[in-house]
Chains A and B, each alone.
Chain A
């Protein structure tokens, strides 16, 4: 019982440390985003302000209108602008979008988020299942040709950037054998709703993005699982089980259960990685998630939206890192032990 409580305390301390560090990181990222928006060439804030004043708006009202748009005042000292921007962020007020006139950036981002999160989750799940099974196989057959091939396929897929995978898949399935749609979320023929045609079209359009996420994640899983299984195979308790004449299938279950533990921490990291990769995949398949939003906002000089998309993607990755490290503490008994003695 005492042990249990001290373990809980260790995890709580670690959590507190991570939250503090995560907070600092988010502060750094928001500061970067503020400085970039403020220093964009051509000073869009001042230009907007001048234009509004020229159109006959009172200077006060014009300043307020610009503040609504970008989240901070066009004039004033750097510090005042910074404080204004940060206090807006604290209220989730990210300004207003230019690309989607009249709607707050937070609304635009919220509607884009689902188009990133769902394909990323589906792709991760798929690559996790396939990669883990193949990883076990590659570990068992590691001195054979097939094991070698699997490991090399893993290294290659792990090494190749996501946009190369996406472009190759696109070239194969939309150009050479045009069986899948080249972009968008669903055919415009169908009304969004709970009917078979619309959902079928949704799935059809999501196939290529999901497949790309899955292939991009697969290499990491197979490599991690292979090295984890090889490590566990060398452990004494496996040798002991073999010496006791245990059935191979039961030994296999021991191995798999012990080898899969460390992989759950990679799950969180991989989610973060794919979130970043969404920029390429969504651009290539014209899929309206956060990544495409970031690119579109840069190309359309919608700096408030750019700042918001940048923050959301970055914060998602930072949070994934924290979750991965916490999972590591909870799952791996050795790390847990360290936390207790410290």
Chain B
């Protein structure tokens, strides 16, 4: 047994090195992809370390309400005189934590259901896929809105849970169709012919070849989660407990009148800019991943 394990480990190390070399090559060809990766990494750092940079609670400058942008306040101040940039940076943790919880639930549930459905086929498959279709057809936002009347899911973990439980449909569909096509391939048939266990086939053969799809769908789920939670807070149907981008948008538009006076405009634009930058980063990273994992797309 140990004889076979050693060369296998060596081979996988080579594969991994080649993989990273491929990643580097794809990234280098279009500089925009490097920018994308840098933006995503920057936001991740902001979410982890951002709140540590500022005192809690944030200092208020009561002499400067809705102050215009300056060196001291690059995006001005809000209605209480708090620095808007500080609000964006500290608000990132809530937004990204929710997105991370959503992503984990989406990926675990979606992959499990998709794999099970595609591998077992038959009756379970049709029942699960009917359910998935149903989840995909019922529009999420109106459902979230009416749900907010009976359950105030304000906390980051709760919010992530709700969004994840409502959002696994797309990943499940993608994983199922991948499973259906992969299970007919030679290497899976060979594994089955060797009498390997289902656990081995699913865990060691199927999952690694689907990892890129799952990873891309995860990123898409993350963006969806960011939009949904910011949107929910913006609409103001949930109580504001902690600061985040959606709360900022709501207060800027409906409290500060940012759509009628210019005073609150930087307060509105700063969180919008953060959302746009995050989207741009994720779009660019997905584009790079697409090419890394799909050799047919490579333009030589």
On A, residues with C-beta under 8 Å from B are 21, 24-25, 28-29, 32-33, 36, 39-41, 143, 152, 155-156, 159-161, 163-164, 167-168, 170-171, 174-176, 182-183, 272, 275-276, 279-280, 283-284, 294-295, 298-299, 303, 306-307, 310, 313-314, 317-318, 321
Q: Does B4 contact A (CB under 8 A)?
A: no
By secondary structure, the A interface counts as: helix
Q: Which of B11-19, B40-48, B274-282 contacts A (4 or more CB under 8 A)?
A: B274-282
Task: Please state if A41 and B139 are interface contacts (CB–CB under 8 Å).
Answer: no
Task: Please state if B249 and A167 are interface contacts (CB–CB under 8 Å).
Answer: yes
Task: Please state if A174 and B142 are interface contacts (CB–CB under 8 Å).
Answer: no
Q: Which of A29, A164, A276, A321 contacts B276 (CB 8 A)?
A: A164
Separation of A313 and B275 alpha carbons in the complex (Å):
27
Task: Please state if A28 and B134 are interface contacts (CB–CB under 8 Å).
Answer: yes
Q: Does B109 contact A (CB under 8 A)?
A: no
The minimal Cβ–Cβ distance linking B71 to chain A, given in whole angstroms, is 23
Task: Please state if B150 and A160 are interface contacts (CB–CB under 8 Å).
Answer: no
Q: Does B227 contact A (CB under 8 A)?
A: yes
Residue in chain B with minimal CB distance to A303: B149
Task: Please state if A279 and B235 are interface contacts (CB–CB under 8 Å).
Answer: yes
Q: Mark B272-292, 1 if CB is under 8 A from A, else 0.
A: 100110011011000100000
Residue in chain B with minimal CB distance to A321: B137
Q: Which of B52-60, B97-105, B261-269 contacts A (4 or more CB under 8 A)?
A: B261-269
* Residues on A with beta carbons closer than 8 Å to the beta carbon of B279: 156, 159-160
* Residues on B with beta carbons closer than 8 Å to the beta carbon of A143: 299
Q: Which of B32, B138, B276 contacts A314 (CB 8 A)?
A: B138
* Residues on B with beta carbons closer than 8 Å to the beta carbon of A170: 259
Task: Please state if A313 and B262 are interface contacts (CB–CB under 8 Å).
Answer: no
> Given A161-B275, A167-B272, A299 and B137 touching (CB < 8 A)?
no
Task: Please state if B265 and A29 are interface contacts (CB–CB under 8 Å).
Answer: no
* Residues on A with beta carbons closer than 8 Å to the beta carbon of B140: 276
The minimal Cβ–Cβ distance linking A223 to chain B, given in whole angstroms, is 11
The minimal Cβ–Cβ distance linking B154 to chain A, given in whole angstroms, is 14
Q: Does B253 contact A (CB under 8 A)?
A: yes
Q: Which of B147, B237, B259, B275 contacts A174 (CB 8 A)?
A: B259
Q: Which of A25, A40, A310 contacts B137 (CB 8 A)?
A: A25
On B, residues with C-beta under 8 Å from A are 32, 133-134, 137-143, 145-150, 223, 227, 230-231, 234-237, 249, 253, 258-262, 265, 268-269, 272, 275-276, 279-280, 282-283, 287, 299
* Residues on A with beta carbons closer than 8 Å to the beta carbon of B265: 171, 175-176
Separation of A168 and B253 alpha carbons in the complex (Å):
11
> Given A156-B279, A159-B223, A171 and B139 touching (CB < 8 A)?
no
User: How many Cβ-Cβ contacts under 8 Å join chain A to chain B?
Assistant: 120
Since A280-B234, A295-B145, A299-B237 are in contact, a sample of 8 more A-B pairs with Cβ atoms closer than 8 Å, ordered by chain A residue number, is: A25-B138, A29-B138, A156-B280, A159-B283, A170-B259, A284-B253, A298-B148, A318-B137
Q: Which of A156, A168, A272 contacts B272 (CB 8 A)?
A: A168
Task: Please state if B258 and A171 are interface contacts (CB–CB under 8 Å).
Answer: yes
* Residues on A with beta carbons closer than 8 Å to the beta carbon of B272: 164, 167-168
28 CB < 8 A contacts A-B: A25-B137, A32-B146, A36-B149, A40-B149, A155-B283, A159-B223, A159-B279, A160-B275, A160-B276, A160-B279, A163-B231, A163-B249, A164-B275, A167-B272, A171-B258, A171-B259, A171-B265, A175-B261, A175-B265, A182-B259, A272-B139, A298-B148, A306-B146, A310-B142, A310-B146, A314-B138, A317-B139, A318-B137
* Residues on B with beta carbons closer than 8 Å to the beta carbon of A161: 227, 230-231, 275
The minimal Cβ–Cβ distance linking B127 to chain A, given in whole angstroms, is 13
Q: Which of A28, A167, A174, A307 contacts B138 (CB 8 A)?
A: A28
Task: Please state if B283 and A175 are interface contacts (CB–CB under 8 Å).
Answer: no
Q: Which of B133, B138, B149, B282 contacts A298 (CB 8 A)?
A: B149
Separation of A161 and B269 alpha carbons in the complex (Å):
15
* Residues on A with beta carbons closer than 8 Å to the beta carbon of B32: 152
Separation of A275 and B260 alpha carbons in the complex (Å):
26
Separation of A321 and B260 alpha carbons in the complex (Å):
38
Separation of A321 and B135 alpha carbons in the complex (Å):
13
- Residue of A156, A163, A298 contacting most chain B CB atoms (<10 Å): A163
Residue in chain A with minimal CB distance to B261: A175
The minimal Cβ–Cβ distance linking A184 to chain B, given in whole angstroms, is 12
Residue in chain B with minimal CB distance to A169: B259
* Residues on A with beta carbons closer than 8 Å to the beta carbon of B262: 175-176
Task: Please state if A167 and B145 are interface contacts (CB–CB under 8 Å).
Answer: no
Separation of A299 and B134 alpha carbons in the complex (Å):
28
